[in-house]
Amino acid sequence: MVLSLALGIGGLTAGAVECSARDETLMDLFTEQAIWPSIIVAFREAYSTVLHHSPPPSPPSSADHNS
């Protein structure tokens, strides 16, 4: 029944993987505890690199204030 509902709403375009609730739980915990922290660290390092290697902002010119 679940597969027919997924097919009906277009959720099986890329296919389906059969797994148990236990397998689903283990994969969810793995992604939450192993993969996402690594991705967050990578984004923080990238932001820090851009922040430290970008030129300082230039002061506003007087033309910006004469509106």
List, for residues 7-17, the tens digit of each pLDDT value: 899 888 888 88
Answer whether residue 67 shows pLDDT above 70. Answer: no
Residue 12 · residue 3 · CB < 8 Å: yes
Answer whether residue 3 shows pLDDT above 80. Answer: yes
Taking CA atoms, 54 is separated from 19, 42, 50, 60, in Å, by 47, 18, 6, 18
pLDDT at 16: 83
Closest CA to 33 of 23, 25, 21, 22: 25
CA distance 25 to 44: 28
Q: What is the pLDDT of residues 22-59, one digit of tens each?
A: 999 999 999 999 999 999 999 999 999 999 998 888 88
